[in-house]
Amino acid sequence: MEFFQTFIGTLLMLTAMILVYEITNNMKYFVENKENPIYAYLYIAFSVPNMVVQVISPSLMFSVCFVVGQFSANKELVSIMVAGVSFMRIVTPILVFGFLMWIFVAFFTQFVAIPSNKKAQDNYSYMVKGAGRLTDLVYQYHVKGKEGFYYVYWYDDKASAIKGGFNYIKVDPGGLPEYVISAQRADYSVEKHEWKLTDVEEINFTEELGVKKYEKFPEKIYIFPEAIDYFSKPTRNPDGLNFWELGEEIENRQAKGIPFRDLIVQRHAVFAMPLMSFIVVAIGALAGALTNKSAGVASLGITIAVVLLYYIFYSTGKSIGESGGIPAWVAIWYTPALFIGGAYFLYKKMNV
C-alpha cells in the first residue's frame, strides 16, 4: 500500500510540475491570443496524457527505491530474509507490477497519449495563429509519384490547391522524360479527380530527348495518378504516429522516394521505450535493498542518475540508428538489454 501511495503521489507531483512549466512557457500565447481562448485550454488539457507517460518511469523508480530502501534502512528487509523468505520472493509482486506497467504504458501511449497529442498540436496551431504567429509556411517540395516527379511550392489545404508553382515530369518505363509541365497554380477537384492548371507551359520530348512540341495554355485539365492529399503532409513526425500509422507512413514514403529509416526505428521504440517501466522497477528494487540510511535522499539521487543515463544511452542509440550507423533493432534494444544485464549483474553480486 505504501508503494502505491508513493507512486501515485510522485506521479501527480511530477505531472503537475510539467503542467506548470507548460503553462508558464506558453503564457505569451494565453495573453496575446485574440481568438477564442478555448484553444489554449484544450492544448493544455490534451497535453496531459503525454506528460503522464513522461513521468511514469521516474515515478516508478523513485517509489520502488524509496519503499524498499526504507525496509532496508530499518532492517525489516533483513528480518524478513532471516525468516526464510528470499529477496526475489519479497520483490516479486513489485516486479510483476513493473511488467504490467510495461504493457499498460505501451497501450496507453498508442491509444490515448498519441491521439491526444495530435489534438493538442491542432489546438496549439490555432492558439499560435490567434496570437498573430505564422504557422502555415510556404515550402518547396519535390517528390516521386507513380509515373513521374513533382516539384511544388505552397500547398493550400483549404483551397485544395498548389500555389506559387506546380511542375511535373512524366517519365517513361526506361527512365527518360516524356514531357514536362510547368504551371503557376494547380487546383484539384475532389469530385472529378482532376487537376486544373493555370498559366501552363508544356514541353514534349522525342526519344532522343529533343523538343518535340512546346505549348502554352491559360488553363488546362490534367489527370495525374496522385490526388491533392499526396502533397498535404510530405513527412509526418514519427513521434506522433501509432504502430499502424507508422506502417502506412513507411509505405507512403517508399512510394514518394523519401527516406524512412527513422520510422523503422520508431516502430521498435513503440515496445522498447515502455519497457523502461519494468527496468527501472527492477533496478529500483535492487538499489533500495543496498540502502542503509536516508532512503529518501538516496532514492532521489539513484532515480535521477539511472533515468538520466537511460535517456542518454537511448537517445544516442536512436540517433545513430536513424542515421544508418547501426541496424534499427540494435539502436533501440541495446539500451534495455544493457540495463537489464546491469540489473542482473547487480543481483548476482548482492548474493541474496
3-state secondary structure labels for all residues of 235-285? CCCHHHCCHHHHHHHHHHHHHHCCCCHHHHHHHHHHHHCCCHHHHHHHHHH
CB of 69 closer than 8 Å to CB of 298: yes
Cell numbers representing residue 286 in the block = 535492487
Q: What is the pLDDT of residue 132?
A: 47
CB of 298 closer than 8 Å to CB of 77: no
Beta-carbon contacts of 76 under 8 Å, excluding residues fewer than 6 positions away, are 70
Q: What is the pLDDT of residue 281?
A: 93
Cell numbers representing residue 311 in the block = 535517456
Q: What is the pLDDT of residue 50?
A: 93
273, with CB counted inside 10 A (0-12, 13-18, 19+), is buried
Q: What is the pLDDT of residue 309?
A: 94
Q: What is the pLDDT of residue 190?
A: 87
Q: What is the pLDDT of residue 207?
A: 85
Beta-carbon contacts of 248 under 8 Å, excluding residues fewer than 6 positions away, are none
Q: What is the pLDDT of residue 182?
A: 95
Q: What is the pLDDT along the chain (352 residues), one digit of tens a residue?
A: 678 889 999 999 999 999 999 888 877 776 666 656 788 888 889 999 999 999 999 999 999 998 888 888 777 777 887 788 888 888 899 899 999 999 999 999 999 999 998 888 878 777 776 554 544 444 677 888 888 999 998 887 777 889 889 999 999 888 899 999 999 999 999 899 899 999 999 999 998 889 999 999 999 999 998 888 787 665 667 777 889 988 888 887 887 777 889 899 999 999 999 999 999 999 989 888 877 666 667 778 888 899 999 999 999 999 999 888 899 999 999 999 999 999 998 888 876 5
